[in-house]
Structure 1
Amino acid sequence: MDKIFAYISQNQDSYIKRLAEVVAIPSVSGDAKHRQDVVRMGEWLVQEMTRLNVSTKIHHPGKQVLDGVELDLPPVVLGTYGTDPAKRTVLVYGHYDVQPALKSDGWTHDPFTLVEDEQGRLFGRGSTDDKAPIISWLWVIEAHQKLNIDLPVNIKMCFEGMEESGSEGLDDIIYKEAKDYFATVDCVCISDNYWLGTKKPCVTYGLRGISYFTLEISGPGRDLHSGVFGGTVHEPMTDLVYLMSKLVSPNGKILIPGIYDEVAPVTDDEHKLYTDLDFSVKDIHQAIDATNTIHENKQDILMHRWRFPTLSLHGIEGAFYGAGAKTVIPAKVIGKFSIRSVPNQKPETIKALVTSFIQQEFAKLNSKNKITITELSAGPAWVADVKHYNFRAASKAIETVFGITPDYTREGGSIPVTLTFQEALGKNVLLLPMGRADDGAHSINEKIDRSNYIEGIKLLTSYLHEISHAQ
């Protein structure tokens, strides 16, 4: 380990240069204009994997209609490094697509140009979610090759370009390859989440699911002037705002009847798990640059982040949002919201409850507008067995690199593929985060600290070595 760790430290500027290359590729999967950029990012990975003698297999999941345009879905890139039957085989997953980002959103610089500040923070869209983690697996292989050190495990890779847009097509590929390409896999590792705070590493054993909806209200055949038609027509925006206000209260309580029915009660033993976690209210205040948290103690904050379902309102498409005044009545508006679900909650039940409730509320308006409710994506929650050797190996690796025993955490975000891997392959799945809680994934000024990136490469290295002999 000392020899490999020294090599990684000596080559950190090279790793940051390569990170800058991939951040510069605006691989925004949810924007049709950037579809070729997503494909280009996948091609970059294939090129690097080929350079490192990783054999690749490319899956083309099919097509989708996005922004009114039919597009090919980005390729799912599978890779194999090592086929020794005497070694364990670890499947690593990551995604190469990113969330949208514009400088006008509030970024302090171009979001697709990697910038390092005097504190060693590397700013750029996708820097922590998920480009630094995904390319770090390649640098682990490269370090072993350069030092002529045998990698003690076989590695299977699964890298996709649609995670930020529902992972369309991926589940079918995983189930199709479960008894073929993935047949030799012993365990799964995903590095696509974050530490609980900013100082102490963790391993993650649970994630919430997600159900994402759009609520479309349409009425007039075209946009109208409010001075001429205000008060004479049912306005789509008025209906939409009313309906969205019925979904969730200002204190975060979901108002849809029956939504909490499947949530398991919290046990006394579960309460104890939250006592010693390295987290404080101050940590979340720093992460959000504000103090407007709903709850006042760390247990309640973490319970509502990990353990209970939440509903968030995300935006309204079709409404006027530019500077100045515009007295328009939009002909059609689309509200966007999502529900983060927890174990025991089923996506199909959530969809039925949401649809029924909105239709009932809309009927009360006696509006002549038309309503369409669409579920864009859905994925269930996931929980893993923390007693598996996969978790023991990750914990030992953290102790080796950081000199500290990690926290065991759940997380509020959603990576639906975790449960797919667990169910399709019948293998233990682990989340091993590289970034910190304040990295700002999905937000403006997303970053990863230089130290987290470089020490993260060492962590993935140590993890693979620990896996080779963990019991």
Structure 2
Amino acid sequence: MDESAIPKDLASVFRIIEEDKDDMLSWLKELVAIPTVSAELSHRKDIMRLIEQTQEKLKKHGMHVTLEPLGDQNLSDGSKVPYPPLLLASTTHDAKRKTLCVYGHLDVQPARKDDGWDTEPFQPVEKDGRLFGRGTAHNKGPLTACIWALCAYLQSTGRPPLNVRMLIDSMQEVDSQGIAAYLKSSKKSDLLGGIDYVCIADGVWLRPKTPCLTYALRGICHFQVEVTCADADLHSGIYGGTVIEAMPDLMYLLNSLTDAEGRIKVPGIYDEVLPLSHEERKVYEGIDMDRNRTNTLGQEQNTAQKDTLRTRGQECERAAVAVGTSVEGAHWSSGDKAVIPARVVGKFSIRTVPNQKVQKVRECVEKHLQEQFTRRGSPNQVK
């Protein structure tokens, strides 16, 4: 863009952002270094520390900030702990201006170097003009950019061209626990009223230089399968080969979910999936997607992925359901362990697409797993 064509107020904002970019990067590094893992209760203090830092940052630039309590989280042992509060911030309201709601979150997924990271995930590292660390892209980086842009407006002109409300979550990675009940409460039912636009910078780019405008997201259903074979863990040297172990049963069930090409084998699960429309196919054909990007992740493309249009449709939330699994109860740390676990738990999720009903997906999966376990003929218990 010709710099002379940039409005004076906006040019001033750009100048402030450029002058302060080193400070912005330093602040982002501070945020990334705080392990705000919402899935692990041990990091709850880290989450609170980052909420307080963000609160002070916004207050410093003249925004009205409140921390809204979200109630208590019920733990498996019957105890309760408070949810991290919802951070709300807003500029001075002008009834003549449109209102923009900016959503972001401070929490991140768990990460360890031995997950495949080249560096420690909570020790941010700059390399070749990029910052590596958990949360740099999802979502501390984009949220930092939004906050810095807003602060630049406030510093330059005293107010942005829109009324701005910020809704900053700290439990997004665990389904934003506590927020739904908060928003549905009678006294907070008007929180989202009067909003004209919503900005969520929490997605991915298709290529390093190709941004992506997301118009919809897939849904998700979480499942948990538990198999028990004994009252307590058993020594494999004594009981190996004499008991039907829980782990093979669990692997059998998880393996029954998909075929070698990643297609769901659960009967009925695709019944409600709508085919790609003509208009959608035209949109997908024009998407600048890197066909070989899975190769950079250490995986060659399978047959389904080699069909470029199918891949685009999958990633654009049509005609595909994704499954991810994890297992609890097994030995995972370094060294060997001669133990047969008494109980193992498999967790997986299914990404739902337009027209699929969560209840139907749940019924199909539960029926399939029960039928598979019956067919296996195991004496173990499953639930």
* TM-score past 0.5 threshold: yes
Equivalent in the alignment of 1:107: 117
Helix, strand or coil for the counterpart of 1:202?
A: coil
Q: Is the 8 A contact 2:292 2:301 kept in 1?
A: no
Shift of 1:109: 2.3
Give the one of 52, 64, 71 matched to 2:73. Answer: 64
Give the one of 224, 227, 235 matched to 1:214. Answer: 224
1:110-149 correspondence to structure 2 within 5 Å:
110-117=120-127, 119-148=128-157
Q: Is the 8 A contact 1:215 1:334 kept in 2?
A: yes
CA distance in 1, matches of 2:355, 2:66: 35
Please list the CA deviations of residues 86-123 of structure 1 after superposition, one character each: whole Å capped at 9, or x if unmatched: 00001111111001111232322221122111x10101
CA distance in 1, matches of 2:92, 2:131: 32
Equivalent in the alignment of 1:304: 314
Greater Cα offset, 322-331 or 261-270? 322-331
Please list the CA deviations of residues 374-431 of structure 1 after superposition, one character each: whole Å capped at 9, or x if unmatched: xxxxxxxxxxxxxxxxxxxxxxxxxxxxxxxxxxxxxxxxxxxxxxxxxxxxxxxxxx
1:326 and 2:326 aligned: no
Q: 1:219 to 1:282 in 2, by over 3 A?
A: closer
Q: Which amino acid aligns with 2:288?
A: D
Equivalent in the alignment of 1:338: 349
CA distance in 1, matches of 2:41, 2:126: 30
Give the one of 159, 162, 169 matched to 1:153. Answer: 162
Q: 1:178 to 1:60 in 2, by over 3 A?
A: closer
Equivalent in the alignment of 1:244: 254
Shift of 1:9: 1.8
Give the one of 213, 228, 231 matched to 2:238. Answer: 228
Q: Which amino acid aligns with 1:225?
A: H
Q: Is the 8 A contact 2:61 2:155 kept in 1?
A: no
Equivalent in the alignment of 2:281: 271
Q: Is the 8 A contact 2:294 2:301 kept in 1?
A: no
Q: Is the 8 A contact 1:27 1:38 kept in 2?
A: yes
Shift of 1:198: 1.6
Equivalent in the alignment of 1:363: 374
Larger RCO, structures 1/2 (Cα 8 Å, 6+ apart): 1
Aligned length: 370
Q: Is the 8 A contact 1:82 1:153 kept in 2?
A: no
Greater Cα offset, 227-236 or 266-275? 227-236
CA distance in 2, matches of 1:60, 1:344: 35
Q: Which amino acid aligns with 1:220?
A: A
Equivalent in the alignment of 1:26: 35
CA distance in 2, matches of 1:355, 1:211: 12
Give the one of 174, 177, 189 matched to 1:168. Answer: 177
CA distance in 1, matches of 2:114, 2:292: 29
Helix, strand or coil for the counterpart of 1:237?
A: helix
Normalising to structure 1: TM-score of the pair? Answer: 0.74
CA distance in 1, matches of 2:332, 2:197: 48
Helix, strand or coil for the counterpart of 1:144?
A: helix
Give the one of 274, 281, 293 matched to 2:291. Answer: 281
Helix, strand or coil for the counterpart of 1:299?
A: helix
Helix, strand or coil for the counterpart of 1:203?
A: coil
CA distance in 2, matches of 1:297, 1:236: 38
Shift of 1:27: 0.4
Please list the CA deviations of residues 271-317 of structure 1 after superposition, one character each: whole Å capped at 9, or x if unmatched: 1111221123134434x244334421432211122213323232211
Shift of 1:188: 1.2
Greater Cα offset, 96-105 or 309-318? 309-318
Helix, strand or coil for the counterpart of 1:61?
A: coil
1:259 and 2:292 aligned: no
Equivalent in the alignment of 1:78: 88
CA distance in 1, matches of 2:15, 2:62: 23
Q: Which amino acid aligns with 1:369?
A: N
Equivalent in the alignment of 2:6: none
CA distance in 1, matches of 2:166, 2:30: 21
Unpaired segments ≥5 residues, structure 1: 373-471
Helix, strand or coil for the counterpart of 1:29?
A: coil
CA distance in 1, matches of 2:27, 2:76: 32
Normalising to structure 2: TM-score of the pair? Answer: 0.91
Q: Which amino acid aligns with 1:83?
A: H
Shift of 1:231: 3.1
Q: 1:285 to 1:78 in 2, by over 3 A?
A: same
Shift of 1:66: 4.8
CA distance in 1, matches of 2:336, 2:294: 36
Q: Is the 8 A contact 1:32 1:66 kept in 2?
A: no
Shift of 1:160: 0.8
Q: Is the 8 A contact 1:156 1:182 kept in 2?
A: no
CA distance in 2, matches of 1:204, 1:340: 16
Please list the CA deviations of residues 216-268 of structure 1 after superposition, one character each: whole Å capped at 9, or x if unmatched: 11121111122322233231112101111111112011011111011111222
CA distance in 2, matches of 1:70, 1:362: 35
Q: 1:133 to 1:280 in 2, by over 3 A?
A: closer
Identity of aligned residues (%): 36
Helix, strand or coil for the counterpart of 1:207?
A: coil
Shift of 1:125: 0.8
Please list the CA deviations of residues 311-337 of structure 1 after superposition, one character each: whole Å capped at 9, or x if unmatched: 323221111233444332110111111
Helix, strand or coil for the counterpart of 1:2?
A: helix
1:44-63 correspondence to structure 2 within 5 Å:
44-63=53-72
Q: Which amino acid aligns with 2:57?
A: E
CA distance in 2, matches of 1:363, 1:60: 46
Q: 1:367 to 1:284 in 2, by over 3 A?
A: closer
Please list the CA deviations of residues 48-93 of structure 1 after superposition, one character each: whole Å capped at 9, or x if unmatched: 1221222123222222245756432211111211210000001111
CA distance in 2, matches of 1:193, 1:134: 12
